[in-house]
Every structure is written in C-alpha cells, then in structure tokens.
Structure 1
C-alpha cells in the first residue's frame, strides 16, 4: 500500500460562497483531527472553480474509504475523479497471499490505494484519469483471483457504478455459493486434497524405500516427485507472483529448501517439507473460512424475494427491484426485505441481526404517513424497520424508504468488509518488523551457507542447515496473528450490533481510560418535553408559545421539534403567526421574521452580544429559576421586547446508569459529559446517570477543544449521535456513534457505531475489544516465541521436517486462537 499520499480532492459543497464557508471549515477541522493526517487546506472556491481540498496523509492510518465517509458526514461529496470499488473475492487463502495481491495492485499506475484481506475482501481506490475498473479486474484475473459482484455501493459521488451517470449498482456481494479458491475444478477443498495426496505419496514412497525389497529403485523416487508436484502446486504459483513483484517470501523459501533437498538426494525430506507446508496452508485456509462465513452470513440475512403491492396489485419480486415508495407486505415470522416504516398492522420485530437488541421491539404504524415520507430519518423507533430483521406474529405493511443496496444492513456488510482491509496498530508494527527481520534472516542464511569453510563439515550439511534456518525463521504465524484476530473481532462485533471500522478502533477501544459523552440523545432520550412556560413583560403564555412554535417549525433541531410538538398540543386550535427568513446561529439559537419584526429564540448567552439586544431583568430572573431546577431554557424575544422563557427537560436513559457503572467496573476511570446546555443543567443530568465530570455551556468548537485536551491526558472516546459531533469524534482516540442503524451520518462519522440506540452495547464493545487485544498479544508472543526457539534449534541441528511441523503448527495455533473471538459472550448478555 502507498503509505504517504498527497491528494488534491475536488469536493462538492452546497451553496459554497468561498473557501471560508462554515461547511468547508467543519470538514477541514474533522479531517485535520484524524490520526495520520499531516495537513489539510482548501484551494480555490473563488466562484469560478469549485473548492478543492489538498490533504497530506498516511494511507495506512487513514484509508480513502474512511476519508470519503468523513467528507460525506460534513455534507459534501468527493467528485468523480477517484473511483472506489469493493469486491468479495475467491482465491485469498492466507495473509501472505493477501499481501501479494495488495502489492500487485498498488504497483499498477493509477491505483491510489489497494488492500486485500485474508477474509476475501478487496478494496481499490483509483484515479479514473489513469485507469478503468475493467483494467483492475484484468489484473486480478492475472493473479488467479476470482472476483464476484461488487459489494453494496453507497451511490455517492466517487464510486464507479458502471451504469452511467447518476445510476447505482444494485449488487449485494452475494456469491454463487461456490468457493473458487485456487483450482476451480475441485472447489474449496482443492488445497487440502492436494496436501493429503502429497502426504499419501510420501508415505507410499517411504514404505517402498524401506520395506519394498525387490521393487524397482526408481519407484520411491517417482512417488517423491509426484508428492513434490502435488505439495508444491500452490506454493509455486504464489512464489511466481511474489518474484514478479521482486518479493522473497516464505513460499519461495520453501521451494528453495525443497529443491535443495532434492539436489542433495534427500527426496523424502523435501517431500515432507512440502507436505507439512501445504497441509498447514490448507488447514489455515479452512480455519479462516469460519471467520469469512461469519461475515458472509450478514449479507444473507436479507431475503432475496419480497411481496410488494403496486397499483392495487400484489406480486412477488426480487428485492433488487424494489424502489422507494413501494409497499411491502411482511407475513408473520418472515424477514423484512427493506428499510422503511410501518403503515399498517402491529407486531414485535426481532432486530438482533442488525442492532444486536436481545428483546423484540414492538412496532406500530406511523401517525402521519405523509410526514414520515417527507422525513424518513425522523421516524421514531416504534415505527422504523430494517431489512434483515425478523417479523413476529403480526402481519404488517411497510413503505420502503431505501433501496436494497442502501439499507442499513447493506451498508454494514460493506463497511465490515472494508474494515477487514484496514490495518491495526499492531499489524502495522509487525509489518515494519518483518521488513527488517526477513532481510536479516536471509543474510544469516547466506552466512550459514559458508559455514563449511569455518566448521569442518561438508557443504551438504551447511546448505541443509541454511535452508532449515530459512524455513524456521519465516514469520508466517506473525503475519496472520493480527489479521485473523481483527477479522474475527469485527465479525463478532457486527453480529452483536456494533460496527467497528477496522483494526485500529478495535484495538484502541480496549485501551481506553476515559470516555466523553454528548448529553442530548446519548445520556438522555433526546426527546425533551416542555415543562415550564414563563411569560414576562406583559406577554401571556399563548403569545409566547405561538411565537416559539411558528419560528421553530422552520428548524429541524431536536429542541425546536420538542417545542413545536408540545407547543401545538398546548395551543390547541390557536392560529399561529407567519414566520419566515429563518437563520441559524450555530450553537446559540435562531432568528426569524414575524410580522415585520425580528424574533430571536435561543440561549440566554446569545443576547447582549454581536448586535443582539440584551435581556431585561425579569427574563434573566426567570432563566435563573428554571436552570436551578435543571431545566434547559430557550428565551424568546421579539423586536425590543422580551416575551419570555420556555423550560424543557430531557429524560435520562435508563440504560445509561447501568452502562456507566459497568464501564467503571471494567476500569474506565474517567467519565465526562460535554454539553452545549447550561452548566447547572449538565450537572443535574450528570448526577442522575453517574457521570464524574460535567462540562456545560460549550459551543461546538469548544467541544473539540475539550476532547483534544482530554486526548492529551488519556486515551479517550467520544460518544455522540454522529450528527453534530463529527469534529469532536475525530479529535478523540475513538469516535463512537449511537443509533447508527437509522442514521447515515452516524454510520459515516464514527470509528465505532452502535447500531441500536442503546448505551448497553458500549460495555459489550469495550469488553470485546479488550479480549481482542489480549488474543493479539498472545498470538504475537507465540509467533515470536516459536521463531526465537526454532532459529537456534535449526542452527544446532534440528531437521527441516520437524522445523516445518512446529512452524506450521504455530500458524494454525494463532488462527484457532483468534477464532475464539467468534464465540465471545457479553458477561451481562446485552449483545447477542
């Protein structure tokens, strides 16, 4: 992979007047806070040419898919110059093969980044001005890799969907059900069959040689040669690919050692070497297949057919043919075919396949179908449904809000596959270690070739010893130690309703000592209610509420929606004034025009600054009383008159108290809440849920500063809803978003996404990460320990056969150890 990259990225931003636009500044702030980014700056944006970003970054630490997600979360798009494609491929049986494919793709002109995983995922980022997707497919065919259809695509700019402008590929990464690894004619077990046949021929040849008196002398040799052919078949292919890339890896070393043994007449030992090596590869391939299947099972959760009613007629169609607005009929105990909302019928749906929730969730029809259709993301959890979940005992009808390739499940499958290809800190360390260690071993082996000059022994013995050291010191187990654990950990997390985007956040999550939480929607329900209406200066309650509802109806902020909902209920049939020209004052409030006068609604702190008139004494006293009671306050002023204050209160989540207690017990020593609300309100919520420190009254940029300060002291995670917290999340060691199943922005922003809107999954994620870190450490220790034992042992006389046996045994051991993560269970049972 290209580690150091400098890209000029054209971006599309809505209504961008110049390079100082707030959206672009937010994007730059988010990207600049990411690990691996050296510099981000804007170019252009002068009205004639679109604004562009120039980003200098380490491609190993910040893969381009992650960069693309962050750009999207800021409301921008990467334009079509850079293509992005994901395939689920057959023919990647082990980590060394994955590295060979990655290196071969990166060597192609026009490929910006490429990575293949032992799980069978291939990700390529390329410059369309230099290369086409078909050229990349051709290159993979040349590497004997069988690529299936593409993984589910985002449909955003920058993806090459191959269907012309403005179209989206309707592909789900489903394979044809056959594993075409290596040799298509025998399927998945080819390598194992060849290895066992090699062993059988080796045994027959050895038996004839030792016991078959009277047999032709050439017969044992013929058996050994046949064993060489079968045992070395796949090894030769791999070695040729590596030599083309000027790489000298274990496959080449094994062939050299086997050829050397044959040259010295030790045919049996050479055949034994190839048998053990090919058997180890085959067993490693089989074991890793279990982790691959855990991920492939996610893609098979959604049904292939759906019952749809169109124009009054009911028919069964492929889920790929469903479009937004279709009415899908879901019978009892069927899997849901698409994301949408319930319009008829009641039921309880098992959402565990997507969100990890262990208890079925009751679903009811939406109250207002037209409003739900206009704003599907705002539909409540009681009516929102997801593809791949399982219906209970009631028949329901749902209106489809996302096509099958855009569903929450499709995006999870795609992001999990991308996570496979992203390296963790330990893997990057082992890669650097290997770049030093392997040449050192080669140099040692060359020296040992000439040992016969110093030691009184024949060249044959020196050559044999050098080959044994080459084989023993090859870091096969080290190469697979971390990828196998990351693959298993990411698959297990996804099954539990937690999306972890790669090895880095998976490792970092388990090392946290501090967690910062956004207040609204994270520690609280995010559904505030009006508790107090306090008019001042001669205004009455009706006038205050009418003004507030008229203005806030133009806003989509959670507090605004709460005021509108509760305010309408209180006002009954009262006619509202007409408001227009709404302007948002970020982090402070809004202003609008009502009846020719300016109306301000927002925090008390926004008044008396930047040309906004100061509040009178009566309003200030009302605000103080409300804040003492733990209320969030919104002040309303019209023209030169204070109208009053509205007090709102959000309900702390029940799961928050339990989750925070469990995190404390797991060793997370600091819990911090950051909020834009007043300090006293923040402290009231903090006391209720068990937070150690509450930081209130923070503007968005001040939240970022607070997280950066915390990150300088401890490893810190930032937990939020992913909508307004992107820069703060990017500044943390790990950004965690809640409720990601219903929010595209949350999916794109975070390093870790809790698919359910439930903090109870956070201890599960932290616990799984800690178990993963432990298994990675065990694997690295075993890998290095075996090499440390074998190198001196082979120098002192251990034969090639036993060395290969221990070597391949250690490789299989670390894979099996990593697969234990697939069986990880949350001690409290909060994630399936």
Structure 2
C-alpha cells in the first residue's frame, strides 16, 4: 500500500499547546478513518504552531478531505497545502494519463497527482514549494491545454490564515481574503476556457476537425482494400498496389507516428511506438499489406475508443450544463436579466413557468411544482411553497424544509416563483456536485491500482521476451526476418491496452450514470466496495423512519393532572434542541391550545439519557430509565417501570418525568417508519444484502418493534454516538465490508469507520456532500437499491473486462510465439478486445432503475 506523510500546522481555539486534551480528542477522532493510518503530534513546529503529522494513503483519501475532517472536528488549519482539480485537453488515453501523472509528480512540492483519460487531473501540493503557474507550465510542456481549473478554496473550504496569532479570527474574513489570494486560479479560469462538454475536447484535431483521426483511419482502410483487390488483377502493375499501401501507411500511421515521436522525445515508451516499429518491420520484409492492415486496425481502434469514451465524458459534462447561464433579477420592482455569477446571497430572482431555476434558494412568493430529477433523481415533481418568514436570512440555515427549498438546475412547473438566493453560483449544490463528480473520476479503484501494479511488472517482462525472440534465428533454423516478424507479433499481442482501459472506463460510466440518477459516488473505490457489501447498517431516526416523532401518550402518575404534567414537560423540553424535545414542544403546545406555559432554566443534558432543569424552585428530570439508574437512590417503583416497559413494547420512545424526588408522569412518542422502508428493504434482500442492521439510541424494545414492522434482520438499541462506531467496527469483523446509511451529519463518525458511508438527503446538506463516500441527493430511501444495484453491475463489468483483456493476451502470446497467428490477426484481436471492454463499460450508462 502506498503511504505518504504530511505535516499540517494546526491550532485549536482555546487550546494553549499541543498537550491540551482538545488536541488529543482531535487525534482520536481522526485516527482510524479510512485511509488515515496514523495521526500524531510531530516533534517539529512551524512559527510556534504545533504540527500534526498524518500518515495516509492518497489512493483512499485526499489532503483536501483530511483538512475538511480536521476542520469539522474543531481545528482551524493554516494554509499550507493546496488542492487543485484541473480539466485539460490533450490526454489521449489511460496510458497517456499515467505518463502525465509521472511528469507532475516530478515537480517539487507536488505530493499526489491523479489523471484520467477523461482529461481530469487532481493535485495535492505544498503551496510553499510550487504554484498553480508552475503546474500549468509543466502541463503546457506536455502539450496539454488547461481548459478549466478550480481549487478547494473556491468550493467552500477556506483555510485559516498563515499567521498563527490570527487563526482564531472569524472565518468570514478568511474566506474574503482567500478569494483575493486565489485569483491566480480564477483568472486562468476566465481567460482561456471552453466548455467541458465540447466534443473536440478529447479528440485529435486536424484537417477534418474533431473526427480527423476516424476519417484518416477510414481512408487508410479504403486504400488498403483497393490495393489488396488490385493486387489480384494481373494486368495492373505491382507499383499501383504498392502506392496505395504507402498511402494507407500515411493515413493509418499519421497519428500513431505523431504520438510515438512525442512520447519517445520525452523519454517515454508506449504501445504506439511498438505498433510503428512493427509496421515499419513489415514494410522492410515486403509485407506492405500486412503493415497497412496493422495501422488501419490500430488507428481505427484508437479513434473508436476516443469516440466511445467521449460518450461517458459527455454524460458527466452534461451535468455542468444543467444550470442556466442567466437569471431574472428582481430589484426595486423591476426585473433584469443578469449572469448567474452576479447573483448575491439575499437577491430575489423570478423563475417563469417551465424554465430552469438559476440558483439555490428558498421560495418567497408563488406556489408551483418543481422537477428535481436533474439533481435528486426523483421522478415525481415536488410541490413548493413560500417560507413563513420571507425577511429571514436562510443562507446559514440547515433546517430548511424541502417544500421551501429549490436547487439550481431543477425545472419549474406551471406557475411563476420568486426565489431568495441562499448560495452563490460557485457554491450551489449543482456546482459542488459537478466538482465532486469530476474529482471522483480521478480516484482510482482497488482493481485499477492492482492492474497498474501488474502492468509495471508485465511490460518489462514482455520486452525481455521480445528481446530473446529477436535472436531466435541463432537457435532455430530460420532467417532473421522470420524472428523479427515473430517478435513484432508478440509485441502487438502482449500490449495491455484493453487491460489499461478496462477499469477506468467502467468507473467513468458508473459514476456518470449514478450522477444522472441523483447519486454521487466518489470514485472507483466506493463504487467497487458498494458492489460487494453484504451488510447494511442504518441509523433509525430520519433514515428508516420519518424523523418526525409524534406525541402519542401522556400518563400522569400519583396526584398529577395530565395538563400540568404536559406544561412541565413543554417548559423543560423548550430549552433543548433534541428532535424528541422539539416534538414534545410542538405537539404539547397544540394540545394546550395557547395556555400559559411556565419558564424553565439551567438546562443540563446527560448524553443519551435525558435532561435536568430548574422550574421555579423545583428540579425537573426528564429522561429514560437509564437516567434514574445512575442518578441517586430514589429509583422508580416496579409499577412505574412496568408502565414504561409496556409503552416501549408498543414501539414508543418514553420519557419518565421526576419532580424533585417524586415521579410525576410518563410521556410517550413514536417515530413512524418511512412508507418506502419495508419495500426498499425487500428489494435490498433480493439484490443480495444478507444483513440489515438498525443502530439507534432508542431503547431495545422500540428498536425491535420498528425492525419487526419493516423487515430488518437485526436491531441494536440504546447506543450512544461513540457506541455506534464500536458497533460498525464489530460488524466489519463479522461481515468484512459494511455500509452505513445515515444523514451524513450526526452519523459522520460511524460512516467514516464503515467501508462505505452513504448519506441521504445530501442535496440539502453541504456536510453530507463532503463527508459521505456515496451521497443520495434526495431524502429517499428507495434510491438505495439503485445505487447498490448499479455498483454491483459495475463490479461485474469490471470483472468481465479483466477476463476479456487478460484472456486475449494469454491466448495471443503463445499463439504468436508459435507463429499460429500473424500480426494482422494479433492486431485485430488486440484492438477488438479494447473496443469490447469499452463498449461493455458503456452499458452502465444505460443501467435502469427498477
């Protein structure tokens, strides 16, 4: 496993030094994350700031993600490392992408580089050693044109300032300053880019435009065919056919020679060069027709490979074109058309019927149905209503209702809407989705890493074999020409082109199809892992259930009256932000119908057990039975405990209320399962998920009742947040690969420790988008079988592609060594297998939801 070590300068607010308990807490939270091998305080310091040393695997986790995790766990990080996502023109194929990676890694300061045949490059670099300009210059030397670029900072992550004394300043100021600092990237972005979706982006240009390579291949084939046909007409001299073959050589070998020369000049050694040598060798031996056939098949194969891969790339590029480029801005009662980049937070835009929405926002006027399928994959339009408080700033609000929120790129129905913008264009859900999908293309899967490693040993072995075969004439009674021909045939047969593209093409197609269906899969690793999981762990509240608990029963004890009990409960729970507390307050106030409720104070929370507060001169306790087990010697009676257990047995979550030392009542709530939960779990079982486990903080009886109703195999109740992490670790020991499904916010630690973390409702949560391995954009459980089914299909296709690519090489090498097949047949199989694996991968683009 590849490992890198980096030092990140860190300051924790209010932490006096690196020995503070907060620093240890940060280290404990980060240790054990997928891809992070070890985190510790380094013995080095930078300007007096303690350095955290991270040992991590760049193929699993990026520096950008490490910085996000560190910041989310309470650290402010000095600006040292940069994260760039660059789209370039000129990467011709997967093997070329690997050469580009090597060249970038030669730059001082570049820690990690990953490029793919789609033209996306992901870079992690030390800002003190290199810059965007230095990286761009290197790319230009490689004849690559920077088409688009973005840094992590442009997409919502603003590192803290370099000066340690200023690290605790407001992040808002940091973001403003960062905008100025990163204009090097922005200026380049505005200067010389063309759209990601343009067809010529990845094809060879020439006299016939974007299709020049394909047209040259067809001309080559035509000349070869005519020349071969005329060679059988005795009245026509041989030089006519020879001239046609030479013409075929020119058209078939033009781009092959161009690539070969470019690669050799830079010290590289590629299949193009080998094919050229084989074709020249055939000509020297007088086998002009065979050499022309080799170049025809090779150039045609390359051209069709470019065309096929472009289909997958276009599917991803189409995401960027979802949002309109302009918006109708309403100002002082008038509307004017402006570019979306000019929209600011708080602006009001007008969206006409049947037109695309230009920005993320909340509805402030009008009612309509909105087609959210482009973002969330939902097939049914969602009704939208205005927010209650139109003057409120919703840009920092994470609790916006789905009926009020709209996303850029979605399509308005039959009525006009007025929308208040809550995110700038570059920070919209669609922009983040496009950025993350592009980044996902560059994340290599375990199979791709394995095939890359295999090729590193396989290619030199083939070259050694070819070298031996060149001198076969010394041992076998045959002329040098025969040995040379055999060696060239083996070179062609053993070239692992199909192997190189078999996995990247499937990952590209899988990620593209998932994004179209409202699922963000962050690269090959989660795509493959999701395809082999046998166990799914679910958070209960808001995932398997509606997340909207309702007050179901009020049981007064002793001399207490139900109404007074409810007033006390509402007064105390009004101080808490817990979802159950909010449900008690909401439903309690409806029952009390505006009656006066006393004010409580001095709230104290007991994690996972309950709360304590003061009401006038009394101490009020509200919580589960565990709270009173450890509180003092005044335990609830067996009769009271029996009533609590009875309510819990019916699937209720209970709160036992105590006033000073007297138990005064029980309140019961129930969170109803989602309508789609039972059917979804049934589908998951059908596609091969053996264990489905619910992890919840609710007591075991409630967990069992919900599990029985919707068809779960296991239910683990009464779990504290840290115990959910332990539960995931235990499951991984039992099942090897486990996915955790939650909201991506409260469940982030458990998701980080699972094989694949799946967040639901990610379109409305920036945190979920960033932290999850797989993000279901809609808050719909029924999207899960599609995501897992697609991943299983992708995994199956990757396996098929490996069998085809390795199988053809395994058959052709002995066949060419023994002279059973000639170069033409070897090339036909070689190029044929490459096209087969690409076409097979493209089947994922047509994957259908059940």
What TM-score, normalized to structure 2? 0.89
Q: Alpha carbons of 1:85 and 1:324: their partners in 2 closer, same or farther (altered >3 Å)?
A: same
1:43-122 correspondence runs (5 A): 52-71=51-70, 73-74=72-73, 76=75, 78-122=77-121
Distance apart, 1:325 and its partner CA:
1.1
1:800-811 correspondence runs (5 A): 800-811=823-834
Pick one of 751, 761, 767 that aligns with 1:729.
751
2:304 aligns with 283
2:170 aligns with none
Q: Alpha carbons of 1:555 and 1:302: their partners in 2 closer, same or farther (altered >3 Å)?
A: farther
Distance apart, 1:624 and its partner CA:
3.5
RMSD: 3.4
1:316-395 correspondence runs (5 A): 316-370=337-391, 373=394, 376-395=397-416
2:157 aligns with 156
1:683-702 correspondence runs (5 A): 683-702=704-723
Range moving further from structure 2, 680-689 or 536-545: 536-545
For the residues of structure 1 that align with 2:198 and 2:319, how far apart are their CA atoms? 14
Pick one of 274, 288, 299 that aligns with 1:253.
274
1:624-639 correspondence runs (5 A): 624-636=645-657
Range moving further from structure 2, 144-153 or 666-675: 144-153
Q: Alpha carbons of 1:115 and 1:157: their partners in 2 closer, same or farther (altered >3 Å)?
A: same
Distance apart, 1:734 and its partner CA:
1.4
Contact residue 333 and residue 390 of structure 1 kept, 8 A: yes
For the residues of structure 1 that align with 2:504 and 2:25, how far apart are their CA atoms? 34
- 1:450 pairs with 2:449: no
- 1:410 pairs with 2:431: yes
Three-state SS of the structure 2 residue aligned to 1:378 is coil
Contact residue 45 and residue 51 of structure 2 kept, 8 A: no
Aligned residues: 824
- 1:193 pairs with 2:194: no
Q: Alpha carbons of 1:25 and 1:441: their partners in 2 closer, same or farther (altered >3 Å)?
A: same
Three-state SS of the structure 1 residue aligned to 2:449 is helix
Pick one of 454, 461, 466 that aligns with 1:433.
454
Q: Alpha carbons of 1:212 and 1:146: their partners in 2 closer, same or farther (altered >3 Å)?
A: farther
Pick one of 705, 711, 719 that aligns with 2:726.
705
Contact residue 615 and residue 642 of structure 1 kept, 8 A: no
Contact residue 30 and residue 726 of structure 1 kept, 8 A: no
Pick one of 515, 532, 545 that aligns with 1:494.
515
- 1:657 pairs with 2:656: no
Contact residue 178 and residue 187 of structure 1 kept, 8 A: no
Pick one of 767, 779, 783 that aligns with 2:805.
783
Range moving further from structure 2, 174-183 or 683-692: 174-183
Three-state SS of the structure 2 residue aligned to 1:86 is strand
> Which one scores higher on RCO, CA 8 angstroms, separation ≥ 6?
1
Q: Alpha carbons of 1:115 and 1:826: their partners in 2 closer, same or farther (altered >3 Å)?
A: same
Q: Flag structure 2 segments of 5+ consecutive residues without an equivalent.
A: 161-174
Q: Alpha carbons of 1:163 and 1:36: their partners in 2 closer, same or farther (altered >3 Å)?
A: closer
Contact residue 86 and residue 123 of structure 1 kept, 8 A: yes
CA deviation map 1:64-101 (0-9, x unaligned): 34434544554556542111111232222321122222
CA deviation map 1:410-436 (0-9, x unaligned): 111111111111111211111121112
2:785 aligns with 763
For the residues of structure 1 that align with 2:46 and 2:647, how far apart are their CA atoms? 47
Three-state SS of the structure 2 residue aligned to 1:366 is coil
Q: Alpha carbons of 1:533 and 1:37: their partners in 2 closer, same or farther (altered >3 Å)?
A: same
1:397 aligns with 418
Contact residue 613 and residue 640 of structure 1 kept, 8 A: no
Contact residue 515 and residue 718 of structure 1 kept, 8 A: yes
1:830 aligns with none
Range moving further from structure 2, 729-738 or 544-553: 544-553
Contact residue 606 and residue 612 of structure 1 kept, 8 A: no
Three-state SS of the structure 1 residue aligned to 2:354 is coil
Contact residue 16 and residue 45 of structure 1 kept, 8 A: no
Q: Alpha carbons of 1:507 and 1:39: their partners in 2 closer, same or farther (altered >3 Å)?
A: same
- 1:812 pairs with 2:811: no
1:251-650 correspondence runs (5 A): 251-370=272-391, 373=394, 376-534=397-555, 544-546=565-567, 548-550=569-571, 552-575=573-596, 585-590=606-611, 601-607=622-628, 609=630, 616-617=636-637, 620=641, 623-636=644-657, 644-650=665-671
Three-state SS of the structure 2 residue aligned to 1:377 is coil
Q: Flag structure 1 segments of 5+ consecutive residues without an equivalent.
A: 828-832
What TM-score, normalized to structure 1? 0.91
Q: Alpha carbons of 1:105 and 1:166: their partners in 2 closer, same or farther (altered >3 Å)?
A: closer
For the residues of structure 2 that align with 1:466 and 1:65, how far apart are their CA atoms? 47
Q: Alpha carbons of 1:317 and 1:383: their partners in 2 closer, same or farther (altered >3 Å)?
A: same
- 1:751 pairs with 2:778: no
For the residues of structure 1 that align with 2:417 and 2:121, how far apart are their CA atoms? 39
Contact residue 306 and residue 319 of structure 1 kept, 8 A: yes
Distance apart, 1:58 and its partner CA:
1.8
CA deviation map 1:468-495 (0-9, x unaligned): 1011101100111111111111111111
Contact residue 718 and residue 732 of structure 1 kept, 8 A: yes
